[in-house]
Structure 1
Amino acid sequence: MEIGKERFKYTKIEKSWILQDWANSAYSIMITTAVFPLFFKAVSEGAGVSAVNSTAYLGYANAIGTLAVSLLAPILGAIADYKGYRNPMFSLATGLGIIATFSFAFIPDENWLLLLIIYAVSSIGFGAANIFYDASLIDSTTLNRMDRVSSAGYGWGYIGSSIPFVIFIFFQLTQILPISQIALIKGGFAATALWWFIFTIPYWKNVEQKTYIKKQPHVVKNSFLRLWETIRNIRQYRNVFLFLIAYFFYIDGVGTIFKMATAIGADVGLMANDLIVVMLICQFVAFPFSILYGVLAGRFGNKKMIYVGIVTYTFICIFALSLDSLLTFIILAVLVGTAQGGVQSISRSLFGQLIPKENANEFFGFYNIFGKFAAVVGPFLVGIISQVTGNSLNGVFALIVLFVIGGAVLYFVEEPIRKIN
């Protein structure tokens, strides 16, 4: 049994794997959550698009971008299971995301449609890269340390993403740079891409593909055949399949709230600077709670900790109906921070413990298609209900059904037996 400081020591490979979460999480807050949604709403509404429609269009773009990854995820994962394929595919997807993010700085201010299209492209690169990144958890640590390392990835990712975010907020609030607000925002997008690239370097150097299928002729064709065999024999993986169904529902709600938070806050009249500061508070809250989830999962089990997160999000959906001030938005953001990283990291590690290691990329392809396709449903649900009712808070409340269904199905998933550490 590990005690004291030993509990939080990591190997060189584990640190490199964790640092990749530090690298790409800058995209999550600067592009997915905070700055880009507000920038897009300002640009689109300046071009005559209504507030409700701009929120809906952003939801549709999130849905379209993730749908592309959803459809490609299983076959990409199946190909990446062959020796020597995973790391190059990871690099290609990461490069696409970084280049698209960097290009935000050069899109004309008035072209909100092109901005939305490039945003969808960047989300495809980000999502595809995470298929291979998630699967590499299997090769980066041991079964008994998986909860801890996965949680550390999310936890340090929140801190890593907060650094460029804090720098951006500092320059925005102080206005000490002799540049326009638009130039500052575009500079923030370019800095996000650079941050993503620099801190991915340790992963490129140290994380290798250790579990794999030996390379065969006609890799793409054989990957489709293997994928089809897995689908045909899905009954052999009943536990995995049940988990994926549960994950599909509850992670849909988690991802939708994460992506649409600032847009919805803007709809109820909150100021852009206030929204950005509150999202930063959320990041700092998420760091210790992500680590805590990993520690508690080792003691109480993955399922119980996922249920803690589901209950928290269910309350968030209900409490969101009272969102009418900065104070209530802060409360909601703090609640999100306590659960978001924990639910995601423990879900990733539990899935890694359920699947056969030699097919990790293929199975994480399914993991991503269930997660990403779920991310299509949630934003559409928020968008449609917001437009029908004329109130985006009703869209958030509707997400409660996803958490209830996900929690019910998760009950039937059997956790693997492992040594207590």
Structure 2
Amino acid sequence: MRQLATSLLARMGLTRPELRAWAVYDWANSAYITTVVAVVFPIYFASVASEGLAREVATSRFATATAVSLAVVAVLSPVLGALSDRAGRLKSLLGVFLVLGLLSTLGLAWVGPGDWAWALVCFAVGNVGVTGSNVFYDALLRHVARDDELDRVSTAGYALGYLGGGLLLSAQLVLLSKPGWFGLADAAVASRVAFVSVALWWGGFALPLFLRVPEPRPVEGAEPPAMSLSGIVAQLAETLRALREYRQALLLLVAYLLYSDGIGTIIRLSTLYGTELGIGRGALMLALLMTQAVGVPCAVLFGRVASRVGARPALMFALLVYMGVTLLGYFLRTPTHFFVLALLVGTVQGGSQALSRSLFAQLVPRHRAAELFGLFSVFEKVTAVLGPLVFAVVVEWTGSSRQAVLSLLGFFCAGAAVLSRVDVEVGRRAAREAEARAGWSAAPLPVRPPVPPA
């Protein structure tokens, strides 16, 4: 059995212990994404925590809380990224945000009927934790994988994330549908138990990264940014100036800013949209499980395809599928329609996100990876802020979530147009030349040895 697992991991490109340990963190934090962001918490919020609020008001406040929480990470990410690059503390800062996310997830277990304010506070802080930790997690990819490994390792991480998140959600589906089997009063109590299980899963499976992935060395002679308002503003300006040196990475960021708006909004609000249209809890959870199941092989397949045709063409195909999903979402009426959309999203969701991450990693130098991935996070968070806000505004303006879904089409079309202008080879050369000027060799970065377990 162990040999089979090793063989499967090798086929996914996870040929070394540090690559496997890095990818397992996707398995760990996907529990938060599937349970808290995508399925159980939105349903729990709509049916229990928002008791006393009109349905449209609850949807609007949920979207606003999402936007505000992600804006916090957007401001801090480049500064913390520059700090971690220069001090060699990527894992340490990842751990800080991890603990923040774990505590807020546990806090959801105390949300009862009508506690919508406390629910949104815990949800917002949890979003800060999971998205903040991902800034440093994504930056570590550039340090653990070689150029020819980036696409496959990144997509393998997303595949493990789908698998891990799907397995835990499957167990939670049984828990929520049959709470009496576990001595629980009802589905509301079972939901709170599910939130505790997310914290345990996320924290437990994060341990291999801290034990096996080495901490990158600090940038010699570089001063850390000042952690003050003026220092934050100055660091943001300096990072933006530095990005002009990497024009192809900047183009990719603009494209990502656009198409990730649509992707992020679909991930975060699709369950709430389905609930508003009257689709039952069981159907919504089964649809997401279908997305998870399809996402595992499709994410791996995207990595293999990208290694042959390139990451950019594979991304373009994914965006075409998303355009179709948006159009079909406008006409959604039945659980069957929702299942079809879940199947389509599952085929491209993991691959599109993983290839965006690995393509950006190819276009930036290693000695500034966390800083520039911090900026990548800014663009990602702007999309996470803008998408839900546009959705909320359209709902308020038209009184219809269908019109809000249709508005996402423009994000995918504009993103594909900008992505078509990215010259990957030119961007790779610019990043490698910057590394050479900074004194970094073409080999993987020298790293500190990992701390052995006690």
**TM score, norm. by length of structure 2:** 0.88
1:397 aligns with 2:406: yes
Per the alignment, residue 25 of structure 2 pairs with: 20
Task: State the identity as a percent.
Answer: 32
1:201 to 195, 201, 207: 207
Q: Find the residue that maps to 2:86 and give its secondary structure.
A: coil
8 Å CA contact 2:166–2:292 kept in 1: the answer is yes
Per the alignment, residue 436 of structure 2 pairs with: none
Residue type at the aligned position of 2:356: S
8 Å CA contact 1:78–1:224 kept in 2: the answer is no
Instruction: Measure how far apart 1:157 and its partner are.
Output: 0.4
Instruction: Measure how far apart 1:279 and its partner are.
Output: 0.8
1:62 aligns with 2:89: no
Match runs of 1:227-306 below 5 Å: 227-306=236-315
Farther off after superposition, 221-230 or 110-119? 221-230
The CA deviation string for residues 315-348 of structure 1, in whole angstroms up to 9 with x for no partner, is 1111111100000000011111011100000000
Q: Find the residue that maps to 1:46 and give its secondary structure.
A: coil
Instruction: Measure how far apart 1:83 and its partner are.
Output: 3.3
Instruction: Measure how far apart 1:258 and its partner are.
Output: 0.6
Match runs of 1:76-155 below 5 Å: 76-155=80-159
8 Å CA contact 1:320–1:397 kept in 2: the answer is yes
The CA deviation string for residues 241-298 of structure 1, in whole angstroms up to 9 with x for no partner, is 1110000000110010010011000111111121111111111011111111100000
Give the Cα separation in 2 of the matches to 1:67 and 1:304. Answer: 31
Residue type at the aligned position of 1:150: S
Give the Cα separation in 1 of the matches to 2:328 and 2:306. Answer: 27
**Runs of 4+ that moved beyond 6 A:** 221-224
1:364 aligns with 2:373: yes
Residue type at the aligned position of 2:219: I
8 Å CA contact 2:68–2:385 kept in 1: the answer is yes
Residue type at the aligned position of 1:324: R
Residue type at the aligned position of 2:188: I
Residue type at the aligned position of 2:82: A
8 Å CA contact 1:19–1:153 kept in 2: the answer is yes
Instruction: Measure how far apart 1:228 and its partner are.
Output: 3.4
1:191 aligns with 2:197: yes
Farther off after superposition, 138-147 or 189-198? 138-147
Per the alignment, residue 386 of structure 1 pairs with: 395
Q: 1:218 to 1:158 in 2, by over 3 A?
A: closer
Instruction: Measure how far apart 1:51 and its partner are.
Output: 1.5
The CA deviation string for residues 225-253 of structure 1, in whole angstroms up to 9 with x for no partner, is 66533323443221111110000000110
8 Å CA contact 1:212–1:359 kept in 2: the answer is no
Per the alignment, residue 336 of structure 1 pairs with: 345
1:210 aligns with 2:219: no
Q: Find the residue that maps to 2:226 and give its secondary structure.
A: helix
Instruction: Measure how far apart 1:219 and its partner are.
Output: 4.8
Per the alignment, residue 10 of structure 1 pairs with: 15
Residue type at the aligned position of 1:209: E
Q: Find the residue that maps to 2:244 and give its secondary structure.
A: helix
Residue type at the aligned position of 2:340: I
Instruction: Measure how far apart 1:396 and its partner are.
Output: 0.9
**TM score, norm. by length of structure 1:** 0.94
2:172 to 158, 168, 171: 168
8 Å CA contact 2:295–2:350 kept in 1: the answer is yes
Instruction: Measure how far apart 1:5 and its partner are.
Output: 8.7
Instruction: Measure how far apart 1:127 and its partner are.
Output: 0.7
1:42 aligns with 2:53: no
Residue type at the aligned position of 1:172: L
Give the Cα separation in 2 of the matches to 1:81 and 1:5. Answer: 29
- Note the aligned Cα RMSD (angstroms): 2.0
1:220 to 226, 229, 242: 226
Q: 1:185 to 1:5 in 2, by over 3 A?
A: closer
Instruction: Measure how far apart 1:108 and its partner are.
Output: 3.8
Farther off after superposition, 231-240 or 96-105? 231-240
Structure 2: 5+ residue stretches without partners: 1-6, 429-454
Give the Cα separation in 1 of the matches to 2:58 and 2:232. Answer: 40
Give the Cα separation in 1 of the matches to 2:118 and 2:269. Answer: 20
8 Å CA contact 2:318–2:352 kept in 1: the answer is yes
Give the Cα separation in 2 of the matches to 1:76 and 1:4. Answer: 36
8 Å CA contact 1:227–1:362 kept in 2: the answer is no
Q: How many residue pairs get matched?
A: 416
Give the Cα separation in 2 of the matches to 1:113 and 1:210. Answer: 40
